[in-house]
């Protein structure tokens, strides 16, 4: 059985898993993390060598166990050979599960609020305590560094080689970087904690050059939380940079070369004010505090999609033991 699924019990059965996976797809659509594209997966509670994803359908329209497909972690192949068509980029999920046995849920998104940080060279950082899991710098993975010979260069993670390269990006950390694994190691096992550092990622989120982002976690609720607050952090940072530049502007300093036509020599751009980001310790401690409260927003998000007529969840749930 797989640990880290928050509501009420330390372990989760397939019925609850299916219901939670469908609900998570609806929540991520409702909050603008997924649109017609993007996906969330969860490792099987019965067999850690497999994982579940929705078939190739818009996340908002997923409604029943018939819309879910079980895949093998080893090669992202379908367990049932007559399964419905699935997502091409399931290798994102399979290679992450393969590299990090303690990870139970993965979200991949093309969220428009995050995309500017995938193309601009401006690093995405934790600007608020709710996004402490981002740390002091979010890595950016570039598919062009990992295309197999003769493959399509369409930025899609369509094979194991690309998926493995992306998964590896979750592990490196600089001396000043936020170690996501530190928080995880301190948690009890029933909340997704682990005592095996080599099985823990160092980063919770990786941006994908010109593509989107991927986040991994130890349960569905945590993965949804991180996806939603990655979007919120990106929006806050973009707004902060915009109003800062509009308010303060920039001053160019240097020596004027009169004989050279008034050009400024050795010019330096001086900007007043600065955006305040969380320190490494603030990011770590903020995430440690917020991680224990993930069940609170999950309850709200479930209710939001439950009362919205767009979303249908026909998966039966389990009675608590």
Residue 95 inside a domain? The answer is yes
Residue 61 inside a domain? The answer is yes
Residue 7 inside a domain? The answer is no
Over the stretch 230-286, which tens digit does the pLDDT of each residue have? Answer: 999 999 999 999 998 888 866 666 666 656 666 666 666 666 668 899 999 999 999
3-state DSSP percent of the chain in helix, strand and coil, to 5: 40, 15, 45
Residue 103 inside a domain? The answer is yes
Residue 194 inside a domain? The answer is yes
Residue 177 CB burial class (10 angstroms; 0-12, 13-18, ≥19):
middle
Integer Cα distance of 306 and 27 in angstroms: 9
In which residue are the tokens 């600065």 written?
Answer: 274
Mean pLDDT of 176-195: 48
Total number of domains constituting the chain? 1
* Of 319, 144, 116, residue with least CA distance to 237: 116
Residues belonging to the active site: 89
Question: For residue 245, what pLDDT is reported?
Answer: 85
CATH number of the domain encompassing residue 50: 3.40.225.10
Tell me which residue range forms the domain holding 267. Answer: 14-306
Question: For residue 137, what pLDDT is reported?
Answer: 87
Over the stretch 279-308, which tens digit does the pLDDT of each residue have? Answer: 999 999 999 999 989 999 999 999 999 999
* Of 272, 215, 280, residue with least CA distance to 247: 272
């Amino acid at each position: 059985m797989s640990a880290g699924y928050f509501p009420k019990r330390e372990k989760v059965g397939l019925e609850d898993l299916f219901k939670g996976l469908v609900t998570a797809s609806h929540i991520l659509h409702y909050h603008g993390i997924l649109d017609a594209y993007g996906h969330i997966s969860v490792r099987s509670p019965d067999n850690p060598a497999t994982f579940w994803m929705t078939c190739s359908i818009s996340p908002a329209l997923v409604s029943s166990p018939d819309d879910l497909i079980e895949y093998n972690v080893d090669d992202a192949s379908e367990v049932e050979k007559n399964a419905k068509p699935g997502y091409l980029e399931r290798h994102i999920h399979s290679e992450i599960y393969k590299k990090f046995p303690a990870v139970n849920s993965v979200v991949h998104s093309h969220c428009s609020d995050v995309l500017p940080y995938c193309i601009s060279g401006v690093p995405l950082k934790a600007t608020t305590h709710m996004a402490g899991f981002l740390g002091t710098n979010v890595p950016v993975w570039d598919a062009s560094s990992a295309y197999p010979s003769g493959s399509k260069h369409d930025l899609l993670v369509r094979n194991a080689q690309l998926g493995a390269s992306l998964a590896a990006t979750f592990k490196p950390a600089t001396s000043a970087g936020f170690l996501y694994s530190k928080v995880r190691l301190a948690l009890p096992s029933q909340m997704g904690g682990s005592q095996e550092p080599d099985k823990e990622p160092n980063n919770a989120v990786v941006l994908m050059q010109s593509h989107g982002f991927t986040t991994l976690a130890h349960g569905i609720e945590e993965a949804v939380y991180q996806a939603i607050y990655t979007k919120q952090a990106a929006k806050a940072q973009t707004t902060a940079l915009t109003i800062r530049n509009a308010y303060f502007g920039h001053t160019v300093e240097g020596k004027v070369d009169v004989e050279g036509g008034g050009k400024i020599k050795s010019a330096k751009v001086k900007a007043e004010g600065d955006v305040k980001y969380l320190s490494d310790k603030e990011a770590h401690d903020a995430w440690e505090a917020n991680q224990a409260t993930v069940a609170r927003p999950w309850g709200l998000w479930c209710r939001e999609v439950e009362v919205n007529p767009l979303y249908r969840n026909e998966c039966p749930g389990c009675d608590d033991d």
